[in-house]
Structure 1
């Protein structure tokens, strides 16, 4: 069996693969080589380097393992037409992303940007407002693996958590869970609105300017899912009008965020360059999912972890 990585993992991870699967022919490249792609039976990729033409070239590939949670940039229809199995690393982001979200929240509540600025300017200034996280209500859009981990951490701070998902079925570490059609009803209750939604037909531009007017004017909005949840102009208008207190963004409608975007200049927004899920343990956790799945695949089993519906996007 030939397994082709379109990225080059660190040496210790490669060595563990070679040791555990001596019967497999592994190929590691930093970018796609079309000759190697044509020979591959299993493809391991971050997903962004694939297009319709490359799927045609990969005529032997039957399984694509995506070392990422998002698959919106992949040629979904071409993959579905071929019947290629797609699985990903859903769940590995929950620890670093939850820590990032909590860090930003505490930073805003406890005025850390102000404190750091005063320190850099050697100014002793106590004139700032400080808030507490406990006693808040957080509305979490997408209480899956990541959202539930966020909920677990927030509940430790005595935050009341409300989850919104497609089904309305209960989710871990949510005090309440509702279906997405309750969005407008629940937005006015939230002190914090956190989105961890993927990019799908249903979630694209789910939030509108009108939704921001329904939020409290002291609400903190955080988008850590995908940038097309809201049109940039709607978000900017809401921030300019102070419809909400602050926005924390890790994802954007256009990435990288254009240098002429008004968002760069606004004092009520925190911009993170889509790095909240990054961790020194990212690939280590990815391999913890890939290796058991590869063993199953070699044994003829197809009930792999995190198999996705490529056309739905999750």
Structure 2
């Protein structure tokens, strides 16, 4: 019998959901340490990925034909080897739209209302109504401010929808300047710096590719409107960390909400830890209690098509674009 190997825990209902969508397949659920090399090599479909199983999954006699990742990003996978083997690759794009957009707004509202400073005062039992930090004004509001979203995919669309509800002007930046609901104006990547010059808040939700590596560098910060806040919920290496620290120190960027970093965990001696104008979360913006449910829904739709001899209709990765 053909085999599907899933590296993540599933509920009995989710197991039934997959089994009903994939008749003729045996579903094996084990973590990477429990799987034998023989089970990895025999799998036609793998849900999830791990460097631990890569050598066995990509052997010449492996049965692997399709990988459904547990994450939206695929930059940590051996893309060239998967492509050369003709293996289908689908990601979990769309799973993160709600939790990440809500995390983005938690950070933006914190900067606007200086909640992060109030919490630090609370820990010191300090009653202080002046919450401003160097380079920032006192309490503000996001209504009427301009938000620039760089990378308008599923997460960017949901972020734009929420921004419109808060009365913000929304500018989008992506490969295509095709209009998008809830985005007032769309720029292509070639016009990134022009867009940044209009931003009160900059949200980065770009994937990591050769093109986007260190896209946010000294030139980008200098092009930004002075005093803009920057939020990174995309990929850490899209940002040149050293130049961001310089921009924060100079006040060119007044605050940074960072969920992802070039090096994770963020080293204890990194200056970002000590900056009052920085909010740090440990790569958890996309985490929530409905994650597995949403991944299984994506996989179920895809596997129904796969069983019928069709390509998976959702989130098929373009190896040339790397997303």
Q: Structure 2 length as normaliser, TM-score?
A: 0.91
Q: Which one is further off, 302-311 or 162-171?
A: 302-311
SS at match of 2:219: helix
CA displacement 1:75-128 (0-9 Å, x = unmatched) = 111111111111112111101011110111111111212333344444443223
Structure 1 regions of 5+ residues with no counterpart?
none
Counterparts of residues 100-139 of structure 1 (less than 5 Å): 100-128=103-131, 129-139=138-148
Query: What's the counterpart of residue 275 of structure 2?
Result: 266
Query: What's the counterpart of residue 181 of structure 2?
Result: 172
CA displacement 1:227-255 (0-9 Å, x = unmatched) = 11122111111112221100111111111
CA displacement at 1:46 relative to structure 2? 4.1
Alignment CA distance shift 1:254-1:117 (3 Å): closer
Query: What's the counterpart of residue 97 of structure 1?
Result: 100
State the alpha-carbon separation in 1 of the partners of residues 265 and 249 from structure 2.
22
Q: Choose the corresponding residue for 1:61, options 64, 68, 82.
A: 64
Query: What's the counterpart of residue 7 of structure 1?
Result: 8
State the alpha-carbon separation in 1 of the partners of residues 272 and 126 from structure 2.
28
Q: Would the aligned equivalents of 1:142 and 1:165 in 2 still touch at CA under 8 Å?
A: yes
Counterparts of residues 271-310 of structure 1 (less than 5 Å): 271-310=280-319
Question: Aligned-pair RMSD on alpha carbons?
Answer: 1.9
Structure 2 regions of 5+ residues with no counterpart?
132-137
Query: What's the counterpart of residue 41 of structure 2?
Result: 38
State the alpha-carbon separation in 1 of the partners of residues 185 and 247 from structure 2.
27
CA displacement 1:9-31 (0-9 Å, x = unmatched) = 34442344345556420111111
CA displacement 1:209-234 (0-9 Å, x = unmatched) = 12212223321001111111122111
SS at match of 2:58: helix
Residue 171 of structure 2 is aligned to residue 162 of structure 1: yes
Q: Would the aligned equivalents of 2:160 and 2:170 in 1 still touch at CA under 8 Å?
A: yes
Residue 187 of structure 2 is aligned to residue 214 of structure 1: no
State the alpha-carbon separation in 2 of the partners of residues 282 and 181 from structure 1.
34
Q: Would the aligned equivalents of 1:68 and 1:90 in 2 still touch at CA under 8 Å?
A: yes
State the alpha-carbon separation in 1 of the partners of residues 36 and 208 from structure 2.
29
State the alpha-carbon separation in 1 of the partners of residues 100 and 52 from structure 2.
24
State the alpha-carbon separation in 2 of the partners of residues 75 and 6 from structure 1.
17
SS at match of 1:83: coil
CA displacement at 1:155 relative to structure 2? 0.7
Q: Would the aligned equivalents of 2:178 and 2:186 in 1 still touch at CA under 8 Å?
A: yes
Q: Which one is further off, 188-197 or 237-246?
A: 237-246
SS at match of 1:56: coil
Alignment CA distance shift 1:210-1:199 (3 Å): same
The number of equivalent residue pairs is 314
Query: What's the counterpart of residue 86 of structure 1?
Result: 89
Q: Which one is further off, 42-51 or 200-209?
A: 42-51
